[in-house]
């Protein structure tokens, strides 16, 4: 009975299932297979599409889902693949969104009259033509000194000293004896008078002696010109010879301003150029002069030539040994109309200078790397000798972001001129993520054999530098300024005479940038301006440390691509821990170690 019931139940279930299938087929009209096919296609498309997300500032970051950049915290953006049919396979395509996020801006190349503001430093010196030695024409002992200290003003004809001279006493007696026989021996009388005049006695003095018939034991020395006593060469009671100098006197109504002109600036400086200059002790005042003479010989020690400005020193405002800072708006006459581009547009590898040229196609905006030949620097811009034509459009900001995208896409880039993907290293918070070093990004700098004393002096500069770098990390402008003043002092204590030949010349070129930038930092209370100068200081300081080395020190050369408005900047640290001096607490650990100098 039970078996019969189970069979009936199973039969009922099977009939119900068949009826359901038949009813579904009737309702959907056999379209189920088509729907299933479409659903399969969609599923395949969805599962096959793999979207990658990256950071516009750190293109080495790649994730399979959106989020924040683990380095800088910016929102990740979808990575765009190159479209088929791209017109230039060697160029990198960027969308408008990517350009905006990477802060890329462009400009049309034009021609300008190349004018450069050449910064000069120098000193006030006395006009050599108005400096004279006041000597005594009478040999003897100094009995009196009417002018007793340096800096005293004397007028022409003023008595300066009294001299006792036994020889002069004898000459007077000879004159008196010759006077007695002048009627019979007039030649002898004239000779006796001329002898006294040879000792610079005036006619009136000689006539006074003849009238008195009494010899004098002391004779006064009179000033032969007006001016300030620059040096007193004798003391009271000294015995002096005939013609021996007693004082050095200078007329300061007209002075020279002697400016140092470095070899790299000589092409810009010429006689007749106008110079505007200021003096630190006279704030708010600006002076102007014309270069009247340019030294034809370069000093072998300092590697500079002197440019002279003659200045009418009204009111004696300018005093010898005062420091002055001057500016010459110099024109490059060889290129009256030259192609000029901003410095921010140029990437320099040491061997090559590169720009990114923009082109627009149906597929979008493309950037292609191009090598250019640079002419002179114009301060914030470069003259381009070749490689660019007027009217072309180039990237003037965000060039390193374009270059990073080109590296990742395997296109020609700064570090890979023939193309091929190059992953840039990144050390974030001390974690090693790559192996790129400064040899790939800056000009090769070869170490040289260095005097240990010079290396120790450079190490002293480095130790002061670390204090300044830590002040930048704390983002406090005043401590930065104070620390920079210590760096500046230690730089002045470096003895360049310890270097010879090419090493000496290289140090002088580096020192020019080091002194200019550290001086600007030490005088500023604007933290952003200080950081801009700090970035330039580090580029020159790298060359110095790489070339000459440190004594018993290891330093880490570190880099942040977002510093200085995304232009990127470097710094040195005593440890490999990243503590960013350009952002401080805002992005303390953003950066990477590029090179370790031991």
CATH at residue 381: 2.40.420.20
Label residue 168 by pLDDT band (50, 70, 90).
Answer: confident
Strand ranges inside 500-576, DSSP E: 555-560, 569-573
- The pLDDT score that the predictor gives to residue 335 is 65
The angle that helices 186-198 and 166-180 make with each other, rounded to 10 degrees, is: 160
174 and 97 together in one domain = no
Asked whether residue 182 is domain-assigned, the answer is yes
Three-state DSSP state, 571: strand
Closest CA to 55 of 79, 39, 36, 25: 79
570 lies in which domain range?
Answer: 452-597
Alpha-carbon gap, residue 407 to 409, rounded angstroms? 5
CA distance 388 to 563: 28
Is the domain of 246 the same as that of 280?
no
How far is the C-alpha of 539 from the C-alpha of 529, rounded, in Å? 16
At residue 256, does pLDDT exceed 90? Answer: yes
d(CA 191, CA 524): 73
How confident is the model over 565-581, as pLDDT tens digits? 878 899 999 999 999 99
Pair 226, 282 in one domain: no
- The last residue of a domain, from among 277, 307, 331: 331
Q: What residues contact 394, with CB distance under 8 A and at least 6 apart?
A: 106, 107, 109, 341, 345, 355, 356, 357, 358, 388
Q: What are the tens digits of pLDDT across the range 393-441?
A: 888 888 888 888 887 777 788 777 766 544 333 343 333 333 333 333 4
Phi (first) and psi of residue 21, to 5 degrees: -65, -45
Q: How confident is the model at residue 467, as a pLDDT? A: 94
Provide the 3-class DSSP secondary structure of residue 111.
strand
pLDDT given at position 47: 41
Spatial separation of the C-alpha atoms in residues 130 and 124, rounded to whole Å: 14
Whether 144 is covered by a domain: the verdict is: yes
Residue 576 lies inside a defined structural domain of this protein: yes
Q: Confirm if 482 and 525 have CB atoms less than 8 A apart.
A: no
If asked whether residues 378 and 476 sit together in one domain, one would say no
Residue 250 has pLDDT above 80, yes or no: yes
| Helix locations, 237-347, DSSP H | none
Place of tokens 């990127």: 568
Same domain, 517 and 564: yes
Name the CA radius of gyration of the chain, rounded.
41
Quick one: CA dihedral 470, 474, 479, 482, positive or negative? positive
Same domain, 262 and 245: no
Q: Is 210 exposed, middle or buried (0-12, 13-18, 19+ CB in 10 A)?
A: middle
The domain total for the chain is 5
């Amino acid at each position: 009975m039970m078996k019969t019931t189970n069979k009936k139940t199973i039969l009922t279930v099977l009939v119900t299932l068949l009826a359901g299938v038949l009813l579904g087929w009737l309702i959907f009209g056999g379209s189920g297979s088509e729907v299933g096919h479409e659903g399969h296609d969609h599923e395949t498309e969805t599962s096959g599409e793999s979207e990658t997300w990256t950071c516009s500032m750190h293109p080495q970051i790649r994730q399979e889902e959106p989020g924040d950049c683990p380095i800088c915290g910016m929102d990740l953006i979808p990575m765009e693949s190159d479209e088929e049919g791209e017109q230039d396979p060697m160029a990198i395509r960027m969308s408008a969104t990517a350009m905006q996020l990477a802060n890329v801006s462009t400009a049309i190349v034009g021609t300008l009259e190349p004018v450069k503001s050449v910064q000069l430093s120098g000193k006030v010196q006395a006009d050599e033509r108005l400096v004279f030695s006041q000597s005594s024409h009478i040999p003897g002992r100094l009995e009196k000194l009417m002018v007793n200290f340096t800096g005293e003003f004397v007028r022409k004809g003023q008595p300066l000293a009294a001299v006792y001279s036994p020889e002069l006493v004898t000459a007077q007696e000879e004159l008196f004896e010759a006077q007695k026989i002048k009627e019979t021996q007039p030649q002898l009388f004239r000779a006796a008078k001329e002898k006294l005049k040879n000792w610079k006695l005036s006619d009136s003095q000689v006539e006074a002696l003849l009238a008195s018939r009494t010899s004098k034991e002391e004779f006064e020395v009179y000033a032969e010109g007006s001016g300030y006593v620059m040096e007193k060469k004798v003391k009271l009671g000294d015995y002096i010879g005939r013609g021996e100098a007693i004082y050095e006197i200078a007329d300061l109504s007209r002075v020279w301003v002697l400016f140092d002109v470095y070899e790299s600036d000589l092409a810009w400086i010429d006689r007749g150029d106008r110079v505007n200059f200021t003096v630190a002790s006279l704030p708010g005042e600006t002076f102007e002069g014309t270069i009247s003479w340019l030294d034809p010989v370069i000093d072998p020690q300092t590697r500079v030539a002197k440019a002279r400005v003659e200045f009418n020193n009204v009111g004696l405002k300018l005093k010898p040994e005062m420091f002055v800072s001057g500016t010459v708006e110099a024109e490059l006459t060889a290129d009256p109309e030259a192609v000029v581009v901003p410095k921010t547009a140029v990437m320099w590898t040491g061997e090559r200078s590169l720009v990114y040229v923009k082109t627009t196609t149906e597929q979008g905006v493309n950037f292609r790397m191009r090598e250019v030949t640079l002419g002179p620097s114009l301060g914030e811009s470069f003259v381009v000798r070749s490689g660019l034509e007027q009217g072309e459009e180039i990237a003037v900001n965000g060039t390193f972001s374009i270059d990073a995208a080109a590296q990742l896409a395997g296109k020609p880039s700064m570090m890979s001129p023939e193309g091929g993907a190059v992953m840039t290293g990144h050390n974030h918070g001390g974690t090693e993520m790559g192996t790129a070093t400064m040899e790939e990004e800056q000009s090769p700098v070869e170490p040289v054999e260095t005097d240990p004393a010079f290396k120790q002096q450079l190490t002293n500069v480095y130790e002061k530098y670390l204090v300044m770098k830590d002040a930048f990390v704390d983002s406090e402008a005043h401590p930065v300024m104070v620390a920079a003043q210590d760096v500046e002092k230690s730089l002045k204590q470096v003895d360049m005479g310890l270097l010879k030949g090419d090493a000496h010349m290289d140090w002088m070129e580096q020192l020019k940038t080091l002194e200019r930038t550290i001086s600007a930092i030490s005088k500023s209370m604007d933290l952003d301006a200080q950081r801009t100068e700090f970035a330039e200081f580090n580029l020159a300081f790298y060359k110095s440390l790489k070339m000459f080395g440190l004594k018993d020190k290891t330093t880490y050369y570190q880099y942040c691509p977002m510093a200085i408005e995304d232009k990127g900047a470097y710094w040195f640290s005593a440890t490999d821990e990243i503590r960013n001096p350009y952002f401080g607490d805002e992005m303390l650990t953003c950066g990477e170690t590029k090179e370790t100098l031991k």
